Structures are given as structure tokens and as C-alpha cells.
Amino acid sequence: MQELTHYINGEHVKGTSGRFADVYNPATGEVQAQTPLASEEELNRAVEFAAAAQPAWAATNPQRRARVLMKFVALLNRDMDKLAEALSREHGKTLPDAAGDVQRGLEVVEYCIGAPQMLKGEFTDSAGPGIDMYSMRQALGVTAGITPFNFPAMIPMWMFAPAIACGNAFILKPSERDPSVPLMLAELMEEAGLPKGILQVVNGDKQAVDAILHHPVIQSVGFVGSTPIAEYIYATGCANGKRVQCFGGAKNHMIVMPDADMDQAADALVGAGYGAAGERCMAISVAVPVGDETADRLIEKLVPRIEKLKVGPYTAGNDVDYGPVVTAAAKANIERLVQSGVDQGAKLVVDGRGFQLQGYEDGFFVGPHLFDNVTRDMDIYKTEIFGPVLTTVRAQSYEEALGLAMDHEYGNGTAIFTRDGDAARDFANRINIGMVGVNVPIPVPLAYHTFGGWKKSAFGDLNQHGPDAFKFYTRTKTVTARWPSGIKEGGEFSIPVME
């Protein structure tokens, strides 16, 4: 049984709390490792090292900080296969999907290499007689991130790359379900030249989270996970004077107009709905065909595609479409929600219940499901299922379809499939959702734009990566300077005004 560690001040450190969490192989159901769950004292020690190392790092030329990230990118490419295999072993993703997880994080690191440009301030000369004004972006100090199991490479890099590029130290609390890749990333950052103490990994559960939220030295907290936890972290972190950005749950709708290319729409729905076993916050989980004829054509196209999906472990080859879900509890919750859909009157068109994979009977595999005739009062519509379950809600008009997405409490992502530019433009302008795809099922922005939802999918004023990240991880300081031409006598007692 492998015992994992924390990564504190450049070293792998065994846990001292006496508490551990099991790390499973989702394909077999076996416990393959144990990860330590940090105490408040262990978190505090990591913060002490970070606080000691951070001032020198912030004083380092931004271009030199960027060179560390350049080297890190090279190391990520060198170790891509190793990282993907470790990720798949603990999460269950297919190897190509795991490599994509690393790649999308890598792209944010590449963007952050441009930190010297993003950190430039503003300058106004002669704002008044002999007066110049200028602004500076300065690091916050010690920052922290709490990241989810479903993207154990990408989301940590979305957080720590911009934070470190801005001159901060970063404490990463990854998911205890798949912590190996975050530990490997910390090693690679130091191999790239990052000073000890600037990036540290503290494994843990709620005890570690609360220690982060209440620690007076930690200046900001980022989080990705479920909405109830996002609300808790946002409220608690803000109450403790921290800058906080939290990203929560989702229920992403894809509107299919009558004029859409139905083969294209069906392919998009299968990939977006069942990829990574549906364990993506940007997964399409609700198809909304407009009109019964459109719905019937769409279902006809979907069924054979879904029935041909290959479900298996990552070791079965790159033609596997998706693997197991992350835990037995996740599998049980998905199965409970599927049964609730049947009980509440939805039509189960593709029934994945009872799915078993020969030789992997104890694994956490869930067969693909497709529901039709789902209504907005059903649990499978209201709840984020986070599994390989696609629901179909029939709309009789474009306005009804638009209203479904707009009325839902979540607002992470959405898409419309149509050949009508006017409908697409109207949809993009009116929808109250943060990320919109037009004939693109999963509209995750590239690294130089920002990622973030609306409504109960996001809490905080700034999004992840892109220009917003440099705003989130820095404070603006504005300086007004006067250099008199000679010594002046006496003081001025009136508020200065422009003359």
C-alpha cells in the first residue's frame, strides 16, 4: 500500500495527523494508495514557509519568473505520458482525455509566460504642476487554491500558474481522491527553477479547507467544486477578508434548432455528454430540441451512437470512449438519480442500468443513459448528475428553449446548434450564461480569454485564467509623486485640485 505525502518547502513530507483517505483505482475498485489529511498545524507550517519565501520571489524580475514557467512547459511536454498515466490510474479517464487535461493546463502556463506584459502599470506625466501619477500591480503574498477531482492537472495549473507569475506563493489543496498529479506538478515546477516554498501541496479534507479560510496570512482563495461548497467557501473566505473566486455546479443545455445538421448535433451531444463519464462541469447534460419532429430526428440519431459507446479502463486502449466514475459513492448517486427519472415519468430510451464489465465487476463503471420527455420538475433535470446521463427536454419553440436555459439556477455553459445566424446571434446576446457555444458543444475558452459561469455556477467578480487572473492575483497601487523645483515654505491645508 503506497502512502502519499504532502509537498512542503521543496520536500515530500509524511502526514503527521494520523488521518488518511483511501485513493482508489476506479477501474478495479481497489484501494491503491492512502493520502494524508493535514491538520491545521501542518497547513500552518506550509504557510510559514510560503510567507518566508514569497518576498524574494515577488522581488524577482517578472521576466525571470516567466522563464521558470517556460522551463515548466518543456518539462510538462517531456513528462506528458507519465502525467497522463498517473492521472488515469487515479481518476479513471482515458489516456487521451488525461493528456488533454494536462494540455489545457499547459496552455494557461504558456499564456502566463507573458506576465511581464500583463503586469505593466499605467503612467500619467504632468497630472498637475510637477506631479506625475502611476499605478503598479503588486503580488498579494500567500495565496491558496482548493481544486476538484475531475481535473487534477488542469485546474491546479489554472490557479497556480498566474498566481506564481504575479509573484505570489501558492498553497494547493487538491482533491484527496486523485492527489498524485498535483504532487508531480510541484516537483516539476521546482525542477524548472522555482524556489522552495513558493508552490506547496497540502493534502486534506474540510479541516485543511477551514484552516486555509481562517489563516490570516493567506490573502486569496480559489475554488472549483459543487455549488454548496462554493457558497460556503466564498462566504467564509470573504468574511475573513480574503479575495475569493469560487466556481460551482452546472446544468448545461444544448439547444438544437430544426435547421441544425442533425448528424453534427448528435455527434456533439455524444462527445459532450458522455466524455469523461460526464464528470465535467462543462458537460452537456440537457438536450433541448425545438419541435417534436426535431426531437424525434435527434433521438433517432443519438440512440445508435450511444449504444456503440465503448466503456472500459484506460488500459484497454485509446479507442475507449469513457472510463469509470471516480468512486463507488458517485456511482450510487448516479444510479439513484437515474431511477428517480424513471419513477417520475421520464422515458429511458437507452438504459445503462446494471452495466458490468467482464473482469472489472468491482470497478465504478456506469453504462450510458439517454432520457426523453424530461420535464423541468424532475430531479434529473434540476440536479447536476455528473455522470453519463443525457436528458432530453422537448421545447415547442425557440423562446421556450431559451427560457429553459435562462430559468435554470446554474449558468456555466450552453450551446446552440443551428444554421441560422440571426437565431445564433440572438441566443448569444440574450442568454444569461457565462460561456456560450455556437455549433460548439463545450465552449471552454482558450487560455487568453477567461473561464467563468453566471448565476449559481460562480461566486466572485473575476474569472479564471486570461486577463482576469492577473487582476485577481495582484493589487493595484497608485502613486502620486511631486518633485518640486525648489524648497517650498509652509504647508498646504486645502485639498489639492487641478489648476
The pLDDT tens digits of the residues spanning 351-404 come to 999 999 999 999 999 999 999 999 999 999 999 999 999 999 999 999 999 999
pLDDT at res. 498:
66
Residue 497 lies in a domain: no
Sheet architecture: strand order including 20-25: 2-3, 30-36, 20-25
- Rounded to the nearest angstrom, the gap between the alpha carbon of residue 438 and the centroid of all alpha carbons in its chain is 22
Residue 266 lies in a domain: yes
d(CA 104, CA 6): 25
Residue 111 lies in a domain: yes
Average pLDDT over residues 206-221: 98
36, 98: one domain: yes
Asked if pLDDT for residue 489 goes beyond 70, the answer is no
195, 333: one domain: no
* pLDDT tens-digit series, residues 402-452: 999 999 999 999 999 999 999 999 999 999 999 999 999 999 999 999 999
258, 236: one domain: no
Confidence band for 499, pLDDT divided at 50, 70 and 90: low
Q: Which amino acid is at 248?
A: G
pLDDT at res. 484:
75
296, 207: one domain: no
Percent of the chain with pLDDT over 90: 95
Catalytic residue among 112, 166, 246, 281: 281
Residue 451 lies in a domain: no
348, 476: one domain: no
pLDDT at res. 335:
98
Q: What is the CATH number of the domain that holds 263?
A: 3.40.309.10
233, 269: one domain: no
The residue range of the domain holding 233 is: 2-248+457-480
204, 93: one domain: yes
40, 151: one domain: yes
pLDDT at res. 497:
75
370, 240: one domain: no
Asked if pLDDT for residue 130 goes beyond 90, the answer is no
64, 143: one domain: yes
* pLDDT tens-digit series, residues 264-311: 999 999 999 999 999 999 999 999 999 999 999 999 999 999 999 999
Confidence band for 129, pLDDT divided at 50, 70 and 90: confident
Average pLDDT over residues 81-99: 97
d(CA 459, CA 233): 10
120, 240: one domain: yes
Q: Is 281 a catalytic residue?
A: yes
Measured CA angle at 388 (ends 384, 389), to 5 deg: 60
Residue 257 lies in a domain: yes
Please count the structural domains in the chain.
Answer: 2
Asked if pLDDT for residue 52 goes beyond 90, the answer is yes
